């Protein structure tokens, strides 16, 4: 479990997170963190968080985004990007050099734990070639099921049952939602 001031990094995707307000500190209402994207950093695929709204207040650089199937837009310092719950989106660094934003996720849910786990799995190379999905698809289904995280472009009525079945199998095979070695407070 993270604490304010803890930093986690995902060198594979060029992302860094510095926690400002954790789920525990806000009774689960809010997760707030500084988010840094290296030059060229981009989320690998459009996705949606079914239960959480995301806000990105750009502090430096330029944040590119495609929201809800619309065209790309670039957000500059002082501008805020809001992604309502359930809305497909993808973001990237649209700047030369680093881009930073203050991110707020409401409600916090398990998103903090998800970030710690997925960043740790990526750092350790436990993912499929060429992308951020943990090598065992079962593990990624387990993480997605708890966080209500779905890919865009595939109907939810197809994704939900498949993810739930694979998540059950993942638990049976011993995969977990978090690992002590990936918790920022254990480093």
Region 152-176: mean pLDDT is: 84
| End-of-domain residue from the set 50, 76, 106 | 106
Reported pTM:
0.86
The pLDDT of residue 173 is 84
Identify the three-state secondary structure at position 186. helix
Residues 86 and 115 in one domain: no
CATH number (domain holding residue 82)? 2.60.120.10
Residues 6+ apart with CB under 8 A from 52: 85, 105, 106, 107, 108, 109, 111, 148
Q: Which domain holds residue 46?
A: 7-106
What CA–CA distance (Å, rounded) separates 88 from 20? Answer: 25
Q: What percent of the chain has pLDDT over 70?
A: 93
Lowest-confidence region among 42-51, 77-86, 91-100: 42-51
């Amino acid at each position: 479990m993270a604490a304010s001031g803890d930093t986690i990094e995902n060198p594979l995707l060029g992302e860094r997170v510095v926690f400002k307000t954790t789920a525990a500190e806000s009774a689960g209402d809010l997760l707030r963190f500084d988010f840094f994207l290296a030059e060229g950093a981009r989320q690998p695929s459009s996705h949606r968080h079914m239960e959480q709204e995301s806000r990105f207040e750009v502090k430096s650089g330029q944040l590119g985004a495609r929201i809800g199937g619309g065209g790309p837009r670039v957000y500059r310092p002082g501008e805020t990007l809001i992604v309502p719950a359930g809305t497909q989106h993808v973001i990237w660094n649209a700047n030369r050099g680093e881009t930073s934003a203050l991110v707020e996720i409401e409600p916090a849910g398990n998103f903090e734990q998800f970030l710690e786990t997925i960043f740790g799995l990526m750092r350790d190379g436990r993912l499929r070639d060429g992308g951020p999905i943990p090598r065992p698809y079962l593990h990624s289904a387990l993480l997605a099921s708890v966080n209500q995280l779905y890919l865009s472009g595939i109907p939810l009525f197809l994704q939900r049952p498949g993810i739930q079945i694979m998540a059950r199998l993942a638990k049976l095979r011993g995969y977990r939602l978090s690992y002590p070695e990936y918790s920022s407070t254990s480093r």
